[in-house]
Chain A
Amino acid sequence: MATLELKQITKSFDDTHVIKGVDLEVNDREFVVFVGPSGCGKSTLMRMIAGLESATSGDILIDGQRMNEVGPADRGLAMVFQSYALYPHMTVEDNMGFSMRLAGVSKDKRREKVLEAAKILQLEPLLDRKPKALSGGQRQRVAIGRAIVRNPSIFLFDEPLSNLDAALRVQMRIELARLHEELDATMIYVTHDQIEAMTMADKIVVLQGGEVEQVGSPMGLYHHPRNRFVAGFIGSPKMNFIAVEQVSSDAEGVTIKLPGGETRQVPIDGSGHAGGGALELGVRPEHLVLDEQGPMEGRIQVLERLGGQTSLYVQMGDSLLTIMADGDVAYRVNDSVRFGFSSDRAHLFDAEGLSLPKLHRHPLAGLRRQDNRAPSDTVGQ
């Protein structure tokens, strides 16, 4: 059992307000990812949970107990640092056993626990090495091993994969997800990489400028972003934004006028947006469709062929749109293309950047990562 609750947490350095009142609940055994652009306060928030930084105001509760005044070692947490922060003068075994050595655990007991963790992470042949003699991925695993040995109620990961190369990052991502299953622990993970957030999280917390923009499941954020920032941040490549005009709105949805002059109806609730007038249409690159009868037209500026898919960068008026198309499309740079969009998947944003609610909730919007397992696994849950 380990839950975490943040109540109106703020943090200021002199006159700079880094965190401006964050409320958050993390459930037992949940994998929560803090994601946001650099400087959004996600690392500071994690350091406050860890106890390495004090909160200016607000409460940090672990299992219902207020922890603000408790030291980092006594909160029952373990942290994996971005730089790994291994002790360079100690062997892998001593690195992993350091917390137990400080706690006065006997040498045999220490070795037993270290071996146990080393086995999970396949570190056994490396126990006598110093960190200097390890590769980046191995160091990363030692850092995780050092955390496992402490048997924490909550694991904290501070951008743990950002120093690894792309291939290793994918591999470690899978390994971390597997570890989460195996250890059955609560994990909080900080990253600026939305792919890591999408692939690993049960719950994503999107932060910007020291405030929580939205909390939700990966598919929930993807299909129902609360505002333009979340919409642009989650999903890769980035969502396209097209200026449109509202023509009318009824129970079937909102009718909008597209840049070419044609109108379309999207299944979005326009009742809250009474004023009519200017709106922004948000469509993800994978939901823009090449179509000779399509309502919009643009000129191809750049064409990136990835094999299975082709990214088209299309200039339409002032905006450069991204279209994900089939790998074998026959277009060339400077060709003019017509395209449409799947209206079910479209988003509308008002002048403040808030999204208008959709008429139907996406069936997968509440999906947690565990729910991807086959039904037989989840029987009895």
Chain B
Amino acid sequence: MTTAKNQTVARAPAAPATRSALASALLNRRLWLGVLGWTLALVIFFPIFWMIVTGFKTEAEAIADPSLIFSPTLENYAEVQSRAGYAKFALNSVVVAFGSTLLALLIAIPAAYSMAFLPTKRTKGTLLWMLSTKMLPPVGVLVPIYLLFRDTGLLDTRTGLVIVYTLMNLPIVVWMLYTFFKDMPKDILEAGRMDGAGTLQEVIYLLLPLTLPGIASTGLLAVILSWNEAFWSLNLTSSQAAPLTAYIASFSSPEGLFWAKLSAASTMAIAPILIFGWLTQKQMVRGLTFGAVK
């Protein structure tokens, strides 16, 4: 007890020393957090990294002992390209992902507007119910949807996929837009109403520009989810409307042992969305933390 007291007394004049000790402790903490962060990121990214590397190996090297020392080759890419038209699948992916996202936003913006600004007693319940549909395994509705698509001629069409992806993403899109709209100060919309804005003008001139970061990040998420979707695309398309997920799958079954070619095909399939995600990363983070940092 006495020693502790003496120490405090002795240390008191040496404040700068204490401060620098504190600073170095903070630095240490940041260093360790940095190391932890990078380790986690590498662990998560490693499979993708390995896939990209494997795509540049020969088949023999791909199944041999894992090694990072090899002579890179583009032969897998050439062969994959010659066997199946990558461009056609990629175009399908782009059309379906962006088409379904646009359609979902068009439906979700009015829905979220009414829920955020004209709520009723059942609004909360409706939102939860919409989200609960995401808990149902998709395979549970595969047969009815397949039959519906067969009878309406939507099988293997882009339109069909757009409809399915729109429905699949709507709950998330409505929910996200709802939270962004809720953060918008009501006074601004009322000022608009006093200035003579009808509902449509209110949305176009005030709501959309002011919640654009949120809408953008919602849209980006919907694009990514649609792009990566495989279950419905494999079951509802075959040749005409098949997107890149189906393209990867077409390599996996007959050529399951050809790791290098499969890797090359997968790399080509995920590259666009990876680059897209990288470019829009700033926008995504900004949108997803919109409410928190306001």
A→B interface (CB under 8 Å): 50, 52, 71-74, 77-79, 81-83, 85-89, 98-99, 102-103, 146, 150
Would B190 and A99 count as touching, CB distance under 8 A? Answer: no
Contact A77/B210 with A83-B187, A85-B185, A102-B201 known, Cβ cut-off 8 Å: no
Residue of B nearest to A77 (CB): B194
CB-defined A-B contacts under 8 Å, sample of 29: A50-B194, A52-B190, A52-B193, A52-B194, A71-B193, A72-B190, A73-B196, A79-B191, A79-B194, A81-B187, A81-B190, A82-B187, A83-B185, A83-B187, A85-B187, A85-B188, A85-B191, A87-B191, A87-B210, A89-B209, A98-B205, A99-B195, A99-B196, A102-B195, A102-B197, A102-B201, A103-B196, A146-B195, A150-B195
Residue of A nearest to B195 (CB): A99
Most A-side CB within 10 Å, residue of B192, B195, B205, B210 = B195
Most A-side CB within 10 Å, residue of B185, B196, B201, B209 = B196
B119 → A minimal CB distance (Å)? 13
Task: For chain B, residues 182 to 214, give those with C-beta under 8 angstroms from any C-beta of chain A.
Answer: 185, 187-188, 190-197, 201, 205-206, 209-210
With A89-B209, A102-B196 known, 17 other A-B pairs at CB within 8 A are: A50-B194, A72-B190, A72-B193, A72-B194, A73-B193, A81-B191, A83-B187, A85-B187, A85-B191, A86-B188, A86-B191, A87-B188, A88-B210, A98-B205, A99-B196, A102-B195, A150-B195
| Nearest 3 pairs of A and B residues by beta carbon | A73-B196, A85-B187, A99-B195
CA distance A327 to B251 in the complex (A): 95
Residue of B nearest to A50 (CB): B194
Q: Which residues of A contact B190 (CB under 8 A)?
A: 52, 72, 81, 85
Q: Which residues of B contact A83 (CB under 8 A)?
A: 185, 187
Would B210 and A98 count as touching, CB distance under 8 A? Answer: no
Would B191 and A73 count as touching, CB distance under 8 A? Answer: no
Contact A89/B196 with A81-B187, A83-B185 known, Cβ cut-off 8 Å: no
A118 → B minimal CB distance (Å)? 17
Which of B185, B194, B206 meets A73, CB within 8 Å? Answer: B194
B→A interface (CB under 8 Å): 185, 187-188, 190-197, 201, 205-206, 209-210
Q: Which residues of A contact B196 (CB under 8 A)?
A: 73-74, 99, 102-103
CA distance A111 to B272 in the complex (A): 47
Q: Which residues of A contact B195 (CB under 8 A)?
A: 73, 98-99, 102, 146, 150
CA distance A150 to B205 in the complex (A): 18
CA distance A83 to B193 in the complex (A): 16
Q: Which residues of A contact B210 (CB under 8 A)?
A: 87-89
B130 → A minimal CB distance (Å)? 26
Which of B185, B192, B194, B201 meets A78, CB within 8 Å? Answer: B194
Residue of B nearest to A98 (CB): B195
CA distance A52 to B205 in the complex (A): 19
Residue of B nearest to A96 (CB): B195
CA distance A50 to B194 in the complex (A): 8
Q: Which residues of B contact A150 (CB under 8 A)?
A: 195
A255 → B minimal CB distance (Å)? 55
Most A-side CB within 10 Å, residue of B193, B194, B209 = B194
A11 → B minimal CB distance (Å)? 17
Q: Which residues of A contact B185 (CB under 8 A)?
A: 83, 85
A289 → B minimal CB distance (Å)? 48
CA distance A81 to B188 in the complex (A): 9
CA distance A21 to B192 in the complex (A): 29
A187 → B minimal CB distance (Å)? 15
Q: Which residues of A contact B194 (CB under 8 A)?
A: 50, 52, 72-73, 77-79
Would B201 and A87 count as touching, CB distance under 8 A? Answer: no
A270 → B minimal CB distance (Å)? 51
B291 → A minimal CB distance (Å)? 15
A83 → B minimal CB distance (Å)? 5
B184 → A minimal CB distance (Å)? 10
B159 → A minimal CB distance (Å)? 36
Q: Which residues of B contact A78 (CB under 8 A)?
A: 194
CA distance A150 to B201 in the complex (A): 18
Contact A87/B187 with A79-B194, A98-B195, A99-B196 known, Cβ cut-off 8 Å: no
Most A-side CB within 10 Å, residue of B191, B201, B206, B209 = B191
CA distance A264 to B271 in the complex (A): 96
Would A98 and B192 count as touching, CB distance under 8 A? Answer: yes
Q: Which residues of A contact B192 (CB under 8 A)?
A: 87, 98
A131 → B minimal CB distance (Å)? 10
Residue of A nearest to B212 (CB): A89
CA distance A78 to B192 in the complex (A): 11
Q: Which residues of A contact B197 (CB under 8 A)?
A: 73, 102
Residue of B nearest to A102 (CB): B196
CA distance A112 to B160 in the complex (A): 54
Q: Which residues of B contact A88 (CB under 8 A)?
A: 188, 210
CA distance A146 to B196 in the complex (A): 12
Which of A52, A79, A87 meets B206, CB within 8 Å? Answer: A87
Q: Which residues of A contact B188 (CB under 8 A)?
A: 85-88
CA distance A78 to B195 in the complex (A): 8
CA distance A83 to B206 in the complex (A): 16
Q: Which residues of B contact A99 (CB under 8 A)?
A: 195-196
CA distance A71 to B198 in the complex (A): 10
CA distance A285 to B118 in the complex (A): 49
Q: Which residues of A contact B193 (CB under 8 A)?
A: 52, 71-73
CA distance A264 to B107 in the complex (A): 77
CA distance A85 to B205 in the complex (A): 14
CA distance A79 to B195 in the complex (A): 9
